[in-house]
Amino acid sequence: MRDRLILLPGWGLGVSPLEPLAAALQGLDAHLRVQIEPLPLLASSDLEEWLDELDATLPDNAWLGGWSLGGMLASELAARRGERCCGVFTLASNPCFVAHEGWPNAMPVETFDGFLAGCRVDFQATLKRFGLLCAKGAEDPRGLSRLLVSGAPNLPVSVLISGLELLAKLDTRAALQAFRGPQLHLFAGLDGLVPAEAASDLLALLPDVEIGVIEQAGHAFLLEDPHGVAAAIQAFLHECVDD
């Protein structure tokens, strides 16, 4: 099913940020079947439970991709599926979202802990702050932030918190190294959530995969330029199929 592509969204904002990209991909190739899959609604931060649900829901032998947390989950699912996955691509997705000694170019622990505490106290205010960080580096950050937050689904706080807890402990480096299929990882030069320096760290870890940085863009670059991102993904897919 090399004509089937799955897109997984990021934390908290639902599927709407991926819809322009899905439409752009479909416009480039009418034979490509693009499916946006919402993240599991789990009040658990156990990675295996999240992967079990995705693995049971999503078709086999498809391309797996995602934005931010969605990209991290796509990477883990690709490693689990192995030859049952055509390839994986990630958008603004850091192998480790929260910084630690082995992966310093990520969100500082104190900043993340503030997010988590804020979500427990006032998740609406935290989501607005998150939207602003996603839109940082955009041409119209406030307008983009409003667009992101206005399309966010009304999720239970327990689900939002479990997603954040999963985000805090996820480390996809081993999964990316284990997956033998094609990989594309795109980062943003002005990202307020994932430092652009993570791209060179990932290239050092995976010297044989495709890694790019879109310089004048923020975390939500897939919404700023869906056609440009779609073209990059389409070129990657064609290159892999031609090989």
Q: What is the pLDDT of residues 51-91, one digit of tens each?
A: 999 999 999 999 999 999 999 999 999 999 999 999 999 99
Identify the pLDDT of residue 179: 97
CA pair distance 129, 49, nearest whole angstrom: 28
Number of domains within the chain? 1
Q: Are 131 and 17 in contact (CB under 8 A)?
A: no
Prediction pTM value: 0.96
193 residue type, one letter? L
Identify the pLDDT of residue 66: 98
Identify the pLDDT of residue 34: 97
Where the chain has pLDDT below 70, the residues are 1, 241-243
Identify the pLDDT of residue 242: 59
Full DSSP string of 8-32: E--SSS-SGGGHHHHHHHHHH-TT-
The domain that holds 20 is classified in CATH as 3.40.50.1820
Range of the domain at 67: 4-242
Identify the pLDDT of residue 77: 98
For 173-199, what is each residue's pLDDT tens digit? 999 999 999 999 999 999 999 999 999
Known catalytic residues are 68, 191, 219
Identify the pLDDT of residue 67: 98
